[in-house]
Amino acid sequence: RNTAGGERIVMYRLYCAAVLAAVAGPAYAGADDFGRVVSFGDSLSDNGNLSAVAGPLSGFIFRPENFFGRFSNGPTFAEILAGGANLATGESAQQRFYSFGIPLIQPIFNPDPPGSVNLAIGGATASDNAIPTIEILGFRIDAIPSVEDQISDFRNAGGQFGTGDLVTILAGANDIFNAFDENPNLAIPAAQQAAAAQIRNVDALVRAGAPTIVVANLPNLGVIPRFNVGTANAPRVLGKLDENG
């Protein structure tokens, strides 16, 4: 629906439906119908990539209740689709793509095995233009690989999609969070830009041969603990993203 002044907000539910309609496989396909799961995204899909990248610093990022370097207290949805994780050791059904190294984020991916792989990393944005950068020895580098970077990294490492692959992609929240922290009025434009970036990301995956793609929607960001406590206008501003979905 239109907001005041005729502005129409491009929201995830709309483009997700269009993308899924265009690239989805059999209407009733289940996880068991796919040979492997390849995941791109942020902390909601990260199965330990950021923890591996942080190396000895991971103890400053993750709390004891985090499940073996995840941002949750158990396996991520992407891992569950791929077969889960060992609850005693944290070993994942998906191979982690990134590890600590030089450059700061070093792929360890071997494209030859047919197993599932996870490139999602906490803090990632949908758009390459929305990620924070850091300066080292005069060079500015991306602090965290965006989804656009992840897709490029996968391809540059020799990764290819097979006909039995299920590809998951979930991102956009960090684009909005980063913009909101700078200025709450930038949240809605950031959502529009993130949605446009996700469309480009899906298009890149399709062109790379991904046969079946699941584009996950974002929840109502205005009700998450980060914003519904002590931030008076956050539920109102971020709630609009859900209302116009």
Burial class (CB within 10 angstroms; exposed 0-12, middle 13-18, buried 19+) of 179 = buried
In this prediction, residue 224 has a pLDDT band, given cuts at 50, 70 and 90, of: confident
Q: Which two tokens stand for residue 208?
A: 């790379």
235 burial (CB, 10 Å; 0-12 / 13-18 / 19+) is middle
* Stated pTM of the model: 0.76
- Asked if residues 167 and 161 have their Cβ atoms less than 8 Å apart, the reply is yes
171: Cβ–Cβ under 8 A, 6 or more apart, which residues? 40, 41, 42, 124, 125, 126, 146, 147, 194, 198, 201
pLDDT digits (tens, 9 = 90+) for 138-190: 444 457 889 999 999 999 888 889 888 999 999 999 998 888 888 888 888 99
Cβ contact 217:194 at 8 Å: no
Report the percent of the chain where pLDDT is more than 90: 29
Residue whose structure tokens are 């791109």: 40
Give yes or no for residue 6 having a pLDDT over 50. Answer: no
Q: Within 13 Å of residue 238, how many CA atoms lie on the same side as its CB?
A: 28
Pick from 131, 164, 165, 163: nearest CA to 147? 131
Q: What are the respective helix, strand and coil percentages of the chain, to the nearest 5?
A: 40, 15, 45
The residues, any chain, with a CB within 8 Å of residue 147's CB and separated by 6 or more, are 40, 41, 42, 124, 125, 126, 169, 171, 197, 198, 201
Closest residue by Cα to residue 117 from 73, 68, 62, 168: 168
In this prediction, residue 45 carries a pLDDT of 93
Q: What is the pLDDT of residues 48-60, one digit of tens each?
A: 898 888 777 777 7
Q: Who has greater pLDDT, 58 or 120?
A: 120
Mean pLDDT for the chain? 75
CA distance 236 to 1: 17
Tell me the percentage of the chain whose pLDDT exceeds 70.
67
Q: Pick the residue with more confidence: 85 or 23?
A: 85
Model confidence band, residue 114 (pLDDT cutoffs 50, 70, 90)? low
